[in-house]
Each structure stands twice: as C-alpha cells, then as structure tokens.
Structure 1
Amino acid sequence: MRKNGYTYLITILVIAVIVIAISYMIGIFNNNLIIYKNERDSIQSGMYAESMINISISDYDKLKEVCRKIYYDGKNDFLNIKPEYTVDDIEIKKLEICNDSTFSKNGFLITSVIEYNGIEESCFAKGEIVNSLFTMGKSILNPRILEGDEINNLKETEIDFNDANKSIARVIEISQDCYMKKDGLNIIIYTEEIEETEFGKTVKENILHKYSCYDDIYLKQIGGTVAIEDVVKIYGIVELSSVYLYKDIEIQGILNLKGNINYIDSKAQINVKGITINTCGNSENNLNSEYDFDLVNRYSEHIKNFIRPKINTIQKSLPEI
C-alpha cells in the first residue's frame, strides 16, 4: 500500500509539473501572440498614418490651394485636410497642415495621427511652400543662369492679376506710344498731339494715366513704346516690352522684362529692388537688379507659380530642436 501511495503521489506531482509547464508555455505563447498582434497593428497604424499623408498630397492642385490659404490667410492656422472616405477600422484623430518654418523658411508641416485597433500612431511631412526660384537669392531669373527643371519652372512664371488682391491699388495698361514723367507727387503717362493754331504748331499733352507716386500699381505694357523722360520710382509690378530710357527708372517690386531695353542716354538705367523675371532671355544692358525677398513677397499673390509646394521628407517623428 505504501508503495502504491508513493507511486500515486509521484504521478500527481509529475502531472502537476506538466500542467504548470504547459500553462506557462501557453501563457508565454498568448503573451507573444498579443505582442505580435500589437506590433502588427502598430506597424499597420503607422502605415495608415503615412498613407493619409500620401493621399492628402496626391492631389497637387488641392495641395497648392491649401498652401496658398495658409500662406496668405492664416500664418498660424491649422487647416483640416481629412479625406472624405477612409477604411472603417481607421479613426483619423488629426490630419492637418500648417505654416512651420522650424526646419525651412516658408515651410509647412502636415501632421497625421491615426488610431487603428486601439493603437495610435503619428506621421509627419515637412516641405516648402514657396517656389525655389524666388528663394534662391538670384536678382534676375533668365534661362542663361538656370538649368534643367528650373528653366521649365521659369517658363510657367506669369503675372496673374486678381482684382480681389489688395496689394495693388490700380492696374495701368499701355497699348500705344507714350511718355512717362513726374508731376509733383504724381506720375503721369501721356501721349503728344500736334495741334495747328493761328500761331503755328503746338504740342499738346494728352494724359492717359495719372496716379500718386506712392501707389502700388500693376503697369502692363501690351503695345507701343514707353519713353521715360524723368527719374521716376514705381512700386509694384511692371511688365515692359519696349522702353526708351532718357532718365533712370526705379522699380520697387517685380520687373517682368518682355523686350530689350533701349536708351537715349547710355548712363540711364532700370534699377530694380525685388526681382527681375526675364523668361525670354532679353538683353539686360542698362539693367541693375538687386534681390529683395520682402518686396517680391509683397506682390507675390500675382505670380502664378509663386506657391509651388515641395515635400522634403515624410517621417514618423519630429526631431527635437
């Protein structure tokens, strides 16, 4: 009896050890399974967070639109860019874009926060809003100093006037031969007419435009020739296709040069502070241009491709500053 009892006791102990071992192994397996599932869901959640960024930037026209909005309308605003449709298991906690110059001047930051199966992951995209043509510090943009994609980029650069923009006080179009000179605190653009009188022939000035020399203007030449008779200063955007210089003209803003510069006095110059756009590669004799981003930016809403978003990096975390 003692021997049988001892055998039973040993058997029970062995079975207990086996049960404990199996339970322990099952526990480890379950824990590993949970860890694996969490890791898988975490990876999947991170992939979804990155996918939401890729979806938000896939429509480039829409990206340009939102970048234009945050650049001009709200320097510190966060703009919601959530897509209309997503996977049922995904909850988009945050998908927004904002101005952020922490890592690059005139930059933007897209933040994506996704929850998938109870696991929250983030992803970030950093980029630049402003077309690199206007931030490289070059005072004159022409095909001779640019290369590759920059030349195609330059060809897309056009002045696109919008009446809703308030940086320009008035638009002046020139379509015939005329003269420009100062008249006190005003600038006048006029033509000359010869009149026959009883005393002989006289020259009459026919004023086409008269405006304050402090106004921001968009001067657009669509025909004729402009002769600069006095030293004048213009604030705004000037498009010139045919000009004769008797005196200097100073432009604070943007010169869009569409033709060669002719001069009567070889010392007379066009002096630009801002930027000169010379898409056709016209002669730049008698042109002095000094780069000033603040002046370019002041009238930038009228430059068609000034806003040209570029993604620099997409990553799961932001480095500490």
Structure 2
Amino acid sequence: MNKKILVTGGAGYVGSVLVRALLKKGYQVKVLDKLVFGKGSLEEIKDQIEIIEDDVCTTGPEIMEGIDAVIHLAGFSTEPVSQYNPRYTDLLNHLATERMAKFAKEKGVKRFIFSSSCSIYFTYNTPPDPSPSKETDSINPISAYSLSKRAAEQAILELADDNFQPVIFRKGTICGWSPRMRFDLIINAFAKDAFSKKLLTVDAGGQVWRPIIDIQDVVLTYIKALELPLDKIGGKIFNISNDNWNAGELAQKIKEIVKNRKGIDIQIETRPVNITRNYKADNALFKETFQLAPSRSLDEIVFEIWDQLEKSPEIANDPIHYNDKWHLQLMEQQKNKTA
C-alpha cells in the first residue's frame, strides 16, 4: 500500500506544488488547509487527494489517522503581518506546530518534517556583508515571525525520541511559479516587475542578502526527506538554499537575462532605505546530506514566471498573490464584521 502523507498548508505556495509532486511519486495525500487563499490552487487535482478544510489551531488528533508522515507547512509566512499580530503569530507558528507534533507522536507517526525559515538568523546590527550562518550557530531572533519559528523548532525537538523523529528545514527565500503564486518574494517580484514595469527597484543600494532556493528544489528536498533513513536526518536542522545572493546582483542578472532573451531593456533604480533584514545561510550540511544540485537556472525560473504573466497579465495586480496584502485585507474584513 502506498504511504499516505499529511501536508498542512497544502493549498499554499509551496504546498500546491508539493502535493502534485507527491501524487506523481505515487503517494496518497491528505491536505489540511484553512483555504484563506481559496481552493483554486488544488482545483485540478481535488479528486486525487483528500482535502480537510480546517485550522491547525483547532483540528483534532484524528487528523493523523492512517498517516505515515507529516509535512507541516501551515502558518504565517511573512514578517510584516506577523509583527501586526505577534500573539496570533505565536499561536499559529509555534503552539499549533507543537500541537500537531504531539498529535503525530501520539498516533505513532514517526516522521514529522517542519517548515522553518532562515530569517531566524537576522538580528540587529547585521553587517552589510554577513557571514553565512550555520545550523549550529547561536541565534537571537528578534521579530515575531522569527521568534515563533525558533520556538516551534525547540518545542518539536524536545518531543524527539526513538519513536518520533522531527526534521527541520530552515528554508531560504523561495522563487519560482506555483499554482498559488506569490509575487512578494524577491526573485518573483523582480520577474513580475521586469514584465509589467520594465523597472526593478532595489532597496539599500542593493546590499540586501538572502539565501535563495528554487521551489522545485524545495519540493525535491521534501520528497527526499520522506525517503532518506531517519538515522541520517532525524532530529536535525538543515538550511535549505541553493546560494546566497544580494538584491543588486539579482537585479543586474535579471536585467541581463531579459535583454538576452527578449531584447528588452530593463531599468534599475535604487532607494536609499535602511537595510531591514539581511542574512546569509550556510548550506553545506544540506548539500552533503541531500545530494541535490539545483534543478534549474535562474533564466528558467524567471521565464517560467514571465510566460505565465504573458498568458494572464492581470494576476500581477491581484492582492491574493501578495501574502501581506491578502492577510491584512482579511483582517480588515474580520474587523468590519465584528464592529
């Protein structure tokens, strides 16, 4: 019998790509998702999966019945909205994660893969060109989002034993097309702005560093985490990234890509704002353990997005593709309902 995987947040940016890949690999899939971004990302595969429309904060332990492994993606995924409501951020990203991990352990689900973030490495007074942070480095997260992710990591690692083996992925900034697209991530935003504005705006003189990872490589990593022996990955943290880029280099590279491929000149402007978040991640442990080379070039990633925008240019302005805008819009609607 094929293994059944529970994917929380399976209708989201990463989840909607991951679920399709799991089906192609022959896995059975159960999705737990509140569907705050709607059902559209899973519409074409809804008859091939089990979808539970519920919240990780309220669902019960029965969600784990018949499950062989959990990939826990659900949670707030952006810094600004997290700062807007730190208490709810901790509830969703930390306490709900601990809750789901306890359910998994109680039901005998040994493999629990958690989506954390490299943004926990950012702190105040980071130098303009920081050294890449390792998984073993001492960290001092400062934002509500980063604090919630670190607290979740610690909580599930404390549950680890011979019968429960969490695997933690601190993912870099993800890029690439998804059925639940996001245009608020740096490469996706640059690809969209190159298409729609022919202009790339770079903050802080372009000296903002990020670890970057292709969404296809994120998905391959999750699938490999289902296959690797737990004695290699259980109870461990991995920085998941292809490489570290600064915004100025990315903008220049995308300008060159578009010129070479489309013959279109893209302008770059810089804004002298303070660096708000700036960090690099060391990916040596990830590369050594997972043995995954980048599956696509930056050109391929950018023009997959470009091709989708040519088909449907109106999506560039839809707030559903910007997590901060969408969550704030939902919060405002909820406030009006209760006023």
TM-score (norm 2): 0.20
TM-score (norm 1): 0.21
Bigger share in strand: 1
Q: Which has the larger radius of gyration?
A: 1
Q: Which one has more relative contact order, counting CA pairs under 8 Å at least 6 apart?
A: 2
